[in-house]
Amino acid sequence: MKILITGGAGYIASHTNVELLKENYELVLVDNFCNSVYESVKRVEEISGKKVKFYEADLKNYSELEKVFEAEKDIYAVIHFAALKAVGESVEKPLEYYENNISGSLNLYKCMKKYGVKNFVFSSSATVYGDPEEVPVKETARIGATNPYGHTKAMMEQILLDSAKAHGWNVVILRYFNPVGAHESGLIGEDPEYPNNLLPFVSQVAAGIREKVVVFGDDWNTPDGTGVRDYIHVVDLAKAHVKAIEKLKNNQGTFIYNIGTGRGYSVIEMIDAFSKACGHKVPYVIGQRRSGDVATVLADPAKSIKEFGYIAELGLEDMVNSAWKWQSLNPKGYKG
């Protein structure tokens, strides 16, 4: 079966590509390289020993995207990763985020309708829940995004659900919690120029690229006063997408799942675990709370376990060890 993957050279996509290729899916990747490089595609091919088709195209350009659908007429399903994704940046550049994420998705949905593609997996985010009223968070929780990035994800979801109802599409929406880590080979991983997420920043501090980690507040209502989050290994997350494709083969309708572990780790716990992985103390300082932050966000994974047969298998040690291996082997990311 042929799967079209948007944002196909990105962090989560590259790990998903490896897992799909293991299951002998044929992949067609689309990316405009605004947050990625072609080297990740080459390394996926190296890990898997298989070739993938690749198109450089921007989803905001309908004609570029349509050429892909025209050339690849037997697409079974789309996995939609492509989006700008930094919360802080989205607050500073809301128009850029709305234009990229919403317009790109609309073009993709239009192409699906025109070319009769009816199966879709959407890369969403726990950000859509905002500051949840109950923790762990269930899929039925109120949608209450608190920043432009989260709003775009919620809008992309709603447009997709409305389109699915109108056109008879089958949809799996995966709301990720906090993906971390890297492939066991150390060949692919997260490669941000300036990290927005905790673990890549800790990695760069451990490697001496940055001076210290700033911990945003130590007076939260948590065991050690620092924020607690549900971290999930990116390989476990990648395997959830294989499960999603399997779900679409055997089920019609729309399905929404949290993809997390239900186990939380504080910022200090993550820094301490990484210090152990790299063999030296990672320096940090306590800073002010960030606007919009919350004390604890955890997934309730019960629905994904029951309906989806999905259980995260890799723990904290796997997360930090793989992240450090990637950082050590690739001190400048994919650039060298």
Q: How far apart are CA 281 and CA 122, in angstroms?
A: 38
Residue whose C-alpha is closest to residue 87's, from 15, 33, 141, 151: 151
Q: Are 81 and 7 a contacting pair, CB within 8 Å?
A: yes
List 27's β-bridge partners, or say none. Answer: 3
| Strand order across the 53-56 sheet | 53-56, 26-31, 2-6, 75-80, 119-125, 170-176, 254-259
What would the two tokens of residue 23 be?
A: 């299951």
**Does residue 40 contact residue 12 with C-beta atoms inside 8 Å?**
no
Given the residues 25, 97, 129, 149, the one annotated as active site? 149
The candidate with the shortest Cα–Cα distance to 22, out of 247, 175, 232, 183, is 183
Active site residue 149: yes
Q: How many CA atoms lie within 13 A of 238 on its CB side?
A: 25
Chain centroid to Cα 314, Å, comes to 16
Tokens of 5: 């993957």
Q: How far is CA 77 from CA 116, 119, 210, 288, 314, in A?
A: 10, 5, 41, 44, 27
Range list of H helices, 116-209: 148-167, 198-206
As annotated, the active-site residues are 149
